[in-house]
């Protein structure tokens, strides 16, 4: 993945602009995520920032993060009031962004992070933070603006980093078919393969006539389960196919 830090900085700034100054009633209002208020979305991003920053520090120092560290952070943040969740999240989010930006290119090239069974380089590891940050920021933004979209700088990186997410977020529906998709802004040709065994998203065949054409940010939200009919931009195809894919990617 390309360096995600510029896009992450833009998303951090957007989140801060959206949420700084929200009153207590707004913080406990529903976010796009069914089970979370706006404060709880911020808490998720804040606790994740604390965990990510500790992970960065430990990898750079060559030390192991304690096994119980993540759970201790989640317990601490779950116990905070909505106001504290929001205020502390913005502080932790900014602290992580600054810590990432302080790592020079030579250091980034040598760092390796464990993510489940995989080993990831700096850009891939914090590309996952970018994905999470961009979508959860949208979860808040869309509650104030039905026309909210993903940031353009982030979309170009996110749309090229959907394959891994699609394998986890997709729910096989018994169909066995390949759907060719073309995106705009930026333009991509991808193939979505559905089977009884799972869901796979990969490069499409050049020149293949697409069955579905839509903006790249909309495809990204589809894979993350955030493309309901009320928040779908103009697309080319019949609505039934998009409904099928919404069921494959049910989201939060």
**Straight-line distance from the first to the last Cα atom of the chain, in angstroms, rounded to the nearest whole number:** 25
Q: What is the pLDDT of residue 173?
A: 78
Cα 57 to Cα 9, 16, 49, 107: the distances in Å are: 19, 24, 12, 12
Written as six digits, the tokens of 61 are 């120092």
CA distance 45 to 139: 12
Q: What is the pLDDT of residue 164?
A: 84
CA distance 199 to 47: 30
Q: Are 248 and 239 in contact (CB under 8 A)?
A: no
CATH number of 5-150: 1.20.120.450
Annotated domain spans of the chain: 5-150, 162-248
Tokens 């193939």 belong to 191
The pTM score is 0.94
Nearest to 14 by CA among 76, 97, 125: 97
CA distance 232 to 245: 13
3-state SS class at 173: coil
Strand-by-strand arrangement of the 188-195 sheet: 198-203, 188-195, 177-184, 212-215
The structural architecture, per CATH, of the domain 162-248 is: 2-Layer Sandwich (3.30)
Q: What is the pLDDT of residue 189?
A: 94
CA distance 145 to 66: 41
Strands 188-195 and 177-184 come out as antiparallel
Q: What is the pLDDT along the chain (252 residues), one digit of tens a residue?
A: 789 999 999 999 999 999 999 999 999 999 999 999 999 999 999 999 999 999 999 999 999 999 999 999 999 999 999 999 999 999 999 999 999 999 999 999 999 999 888 899 999 999 999 999 999 999 999 999 999 999 988 999 999 889 888 988 898 878 889 999 999 999 999 999 999 888 999 998 887 788 999 999 999 999 999 999 999 998 887 789 999 999 999 987
3-state SS class at 210: coil
Q: What is the pLDDT of residue 130?
A: 96
Q: What is the pLDDT of residue 65?
A: 95
């Amino acid at each position: 993945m390309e360096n995600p830090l510029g896009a992450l900085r833009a998303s951090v700034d957007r989140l801060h602009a959206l949420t700084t100054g929200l009153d207590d009633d707004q913080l406990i209002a529903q976010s796009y995520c069914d089970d979370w208020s706006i404060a709880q979305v911020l808490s998720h991003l804040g606790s994740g920032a604390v965990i990510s920053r500790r992970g960065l520090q430990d990898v750079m120092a060559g030390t192991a993060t304690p096994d119980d560290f993540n759970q201790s952070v989640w317990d601490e943040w779950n116990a905070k009031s909505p106001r504290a969740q929001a205020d502390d999240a913005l502080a932790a989010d900014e602290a992580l962004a600054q810590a990432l930006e302080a790592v020079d290119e030579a250091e980034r090239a040598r760092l390796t992070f464990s993510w489940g069974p995989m080993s990831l380089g700096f850009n891939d590891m914090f590309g996952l933070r970018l994905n999470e940050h961009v979508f959860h920021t949208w979860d808040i933004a869309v509650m104030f603006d039905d026309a909210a979209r993903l940031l353009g700088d982030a979309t170009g990186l996110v749309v090229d980093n959907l394959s891994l997410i699609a394998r986890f977020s997709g729910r096989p529906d018994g169909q066995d078919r390949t759907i060719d998709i073309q995106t705009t802004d930026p333009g991509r040709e991808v193939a979505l393969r559905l089977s009884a065994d799972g869901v796979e998203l990969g490069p499409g065949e050049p020149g293949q006539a697409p069955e579905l054409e839509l903006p790249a940010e909309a495809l990204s939200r589809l894979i993350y389960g955030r493309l309901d009919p009320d928040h779908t931009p103009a697309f080319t195809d019949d609505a039934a196919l998009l409904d099928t894919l919404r069921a494959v990617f049910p989201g939060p």
